[in-house]
Amino acid sequence: MSKFLIEETFSALKEKDEKAFIAYIMAGDGGLSELKNQILTLEASGVSIVELGIPFSDPVADGPSIQAAGQRALARGVTLEAVLEELARIKSEISIPVVIMTYANPVLRLGPDKFADLAHAAGVSGVILPDVPLEQEDEFGAPLAKYDIVNIRFVTLTSSGERIREVTGEAEGFVYAVTVNGTTGAREGFDETLYGHLEHITEVSNAPVCAGFGIGTREQAEAVGAACDGVIVGSRIVNLLHEGKAEEIKGIIPRKSAAGSQSSKNI
C-alpha cells in the first residue's frame, strides 16, 4: 500500500459521486490482538480509510475520549513499533488504506528512517503528524517519500488564505481540515462559516479535502461532507468500539443517496 491506494480510493468515490468516510481508532485499545478485527469491522461497515492512532503520553490534539483510549493502550504496553509490526502481520487481509496518526516524539525516538521502513513494511499509505508544522515536515516526510507514503497536511480555522494555499498547493493523499478550534471530541454543531471555509480549501487544494474534529452523527457527517471531499470521525467511533457497539458505526456513515446528491471536487 502507498499513497496510490489513497488516490485510487478517492478516484473510485468520485466515480460513484460519493464522499470519503475516514474512521479514526486508537491502536491497542482493547489490545493489539483486536486490531485486525477492528479494521475489518470498519471496512465491512463501509469506511473508506482507517486513521490509526498511536498511543502517546502527551496527545495535544486529542480530546477526552481519545486520550482515555490512548491511556488504555499505553497500560497494555502498546508502542509505535509494536503497532507497525502487527500491521505488517495483518496487512494482506486489509483492502482499504491505513493512515497512521502519531506525534513527532514517538517517531523521533524510533528514528524517522526506521519509522519509514517499518511503515512501508506495514503497508501504511500515509502519516498524520499534528504537531509538525509545514516548515519542519522534511525531516519526517523525506524518509516516507522514498516509499510513496504521504505526509498528510493540516489546515485549521485560523489558517490565512496565504497559508492555506501554501499548505494545499503541493499536498498529497488528502488535506486534513480541522473543523473546530480545540481538541477532538463530539460537538453539538458547527459555526455556519465553516462550510464556506471548507469550500474555499477544496477549491484551492491540490489534493482532496477531508474535515475532522467534532463530527459524531450521520447528520453532521452529511452536512460537513457536502462542503468538501469527505469527513473524519474519531471520538464517537472510539467510544462505540470500547462499549462493544461496533454495529452502530454504520449509522454514522452518510447514506449513499445523500452523499451522491452533493457535487464532488475534481481530483
The predicted structure's pLDDT at residue 188? 54
180 band by pLDDT with thresholds 50, 70 and 90:
confident
Task: Name all domains of the chain by residue range, CATH numbers in brackets.
Answer: 3-260 (3.20.20.70)
The predicted structure's pLDDT at residue 181? 64
* Per-chain mean pLDDT for the chain: 91
Closest among 172, 183, 131, 175 to 155, alpha carbons compared: 175
The predicted structure's pLDDT at residue 1? 57
Instruction: Give the tens place of pLDDT for each residue, 181-206.
Output: 654 545 455 777 899 999 999 999 99
29 band by pLDDT with thresholds 50, 70 and 90:
very high
Specify whether the CB–CB gap between 74 and 55 falls below 8 A.
Answer: yes
d(CA 42, CA 246): 8
**pLDDT exceeds cutoff 50 at 241:** yes
The predicted structure's pLDDT at residue 228? 97
Q: Which of 18, 29, 51, 222 is catalytic?
A: 51
Amino acid, single-letter form, for residue 264? S
Q: How far is CA 18 from CA 96, 120, 176, in A?
A: 16, 29, 18
Q: How far is CA 55 from CA 31, 113, 229, in A?
A: 12, 20, 28
**pLDDT exceeds cutoff 70 at 257:** no
The predicted structure's pLDDT at residue 264? 37
Give the rounded percent of residues in the chain with a pLDDT score beyond 90: 84
Mean pLDDT calculated for residue range 103-120: 97
Mean pLDDT calculated for residue range 234-247: 96
d(CA 245, CA 247): 5
Specify whether the CB–CB gap between 230 and 215 falls below 8 A.
Answer: no
63 band by pLDDT with thresholds 50, 70 and 90:
confident
H-run or E-run covering 89: helix 80-90
Is 62 marked active-site? yes
d(CA 107, CA 91): 21
Is 170 marked active-site? no
H-run or E-run covering 98: strand 98-101
Give the rounded percent of residues in the chain with a pLDDT score beyond 70: 92
Mean pLDDT calculated for residue range 22-35: 97
The predicted structure's pLDDT at residue 2? 75
Q: Which of 18, 62, 86, 172 is catalytic?
A: 62
Left, alpha or beta for 51 (phi > 0: left; psi -120 to 50: alpha)? beta
d(CA 72, CA 141): 29
133 or 60: whose pLDDT is higher? 133
The predicted structure's pLDDT at residue 48? 97
Specify whether the CB–CB gap between 153 and 167 falls below 8 A.
Answer: yes
